[in-house]
Amino acid sequence: MPDPTVITLQICFVSALGAFGLVAIVRALRARRAAPDLTDVEPAAITPPPLPVGRVATWPYVGIDLLWAGFIFLTFFALSVGTARLAATKTERVISTQGLIQSIGFQLVLAGLTVGVMVWRIRPIAWLGLRWKGWIWVFLIAPAGVAAMWLLSAGLYAAGYMKWIDSLGVEPMQESVKLLQTTRDPLALGLMAVAAMLVAPLCEELVFRGYLYPTAKKFAGPWVAGAGSALVFAAAHGSLAPLVPLFFFGCLLVLAYERTGSLWAPIAMHFCFNSTTVTLQVVARLCHFPLSPDL
């Protein structure tokens, strides 16, 4: 059967965008209908709006943020679908050193531009909750997130998820994991480790949790924003096999951000998960110990 990766990724992106658009329109119409006529009302009688759910503030975000969020959405849509189409036309595709450098550069530029969009109206420390008094909680939150992902992976494996993926004719191993297991180029291995352990936790968290999620929350509420941003995050990796685990991981990262109000929490969780994955793959390779491709 034909590789369903491309159509699945397209469905994920369209579903996230459709849910956001529908709920945002409904919320806007309800707000307009519920808005009271304040012509003859004394200022002291006006009740302030309720506080938003969770600790991630939405007040810095305005309508123009939808343009930059839309650009980010379309960029990841084009990259992930294009990557999936390219992979479907080749039997073997290996990430090159140049490709790793380009990927790192792309993430850094996108994260930097996102900071530039916000920095003129709010300082990054206040915007992302970087001055977090409860930072010590990361030493509990990060391992807990990794443990939850391991439990999910074990449950999916026991349920036959990887066998089902294999029956679809889909590559069960991400290209990044394959590179960690097979490359003999120390530069490529080092770049892969830097990209996974440092660049991705910082840049992806800033873009997906720091910007896309609260922008969507502003107009569509926390539930649609959380699920939608997690779905886009999972689909943006351009692979079908890890789609379900990455969606679950995206939801965990949103939950960590909302519960703490600081981006340090999802960054730490993301760093811990990626670092553990890289370390396991490298150790398994050095010790000639085979790992399941879903790890």
pLDDT in tens, 9-42: 999 999 999 999 999 999 999 988 876 655 555 5
Q: What is the mean pLDDT of the chain?
A: 88
pTM of the entire predicted model: 0.90
Could you read off the pLDDT of 146-158 as tens digits, one per residue?
Answer: 999 999 999 999 9
Could you read off the pLDDT of 162-184 as tens digits, one per residue?
Answer: 889 888 888 777 777 777 777 77
Specify if 292 maps to a domain.
Answer: no
* Distance from C-alpha of 80 to C-alpha of 141, rounded to nearest angstrom: 29
What is the average pLDDT across 255-282?
A: 94
Among 62, 90, 67, 82, CA closest to 6: 82
Q: What DSSP character marks residue 287? A: T
* Distance from C-alpha of 295 to C-alpha of 293, rounded to nearest angstrom: 6
Residue range of the domain that includes 38: 5-286
Give the amino acid at 31. A
Among 192, 237, 178, CA closest to 100: 192
Q: What is the pLDDT of residue 98?
A: 86
pLDDT bucket at 246, cuts 50 / 70 / 90: very high
Specify if 107 maps to a domain.
Answer: yes
What's the number of domains the chain is made of? 1
pLDDT at 50 over 70: no
Specify if 293 maps to a domain.
Answer: no
Specify if 13 maps to a domain.
Answer: yes
Specify if 53 maps to a domain.
Answer: yes
Q: 242: helix, coil or strand? A: coil
What is the average pLDDT across 119-141?
A: 94
DSSP assignment of 187-200, as one string? Answer: HHHHHHHHIIIIII
Give the amino acid at 35. A
Specify if 161 maps to a domain.
Answer: yes
Among 65, 189, 204, CA closest to 122: 65
* Cβ neighbours of 271 (radius 10 Å): 19
* Cβ neighbours of 219 (radius 10 Å): 21
Q: 92: helix, coil or strand? A: coil
pLDDT at 295 over 50: no
* Cβ neighbours of 210 (radius 10 Å): 26
Q: What is the pLDDT of residue 226?
A: 97
Specify if 291 maps to a domain.
Answer: no
Specify if 294 maps to a domain.
Answer: no
Among 177, 194, 170, CA closest to 290: 177
Phi (first) and psi of residue 82, to 5 degrees: -65, -40
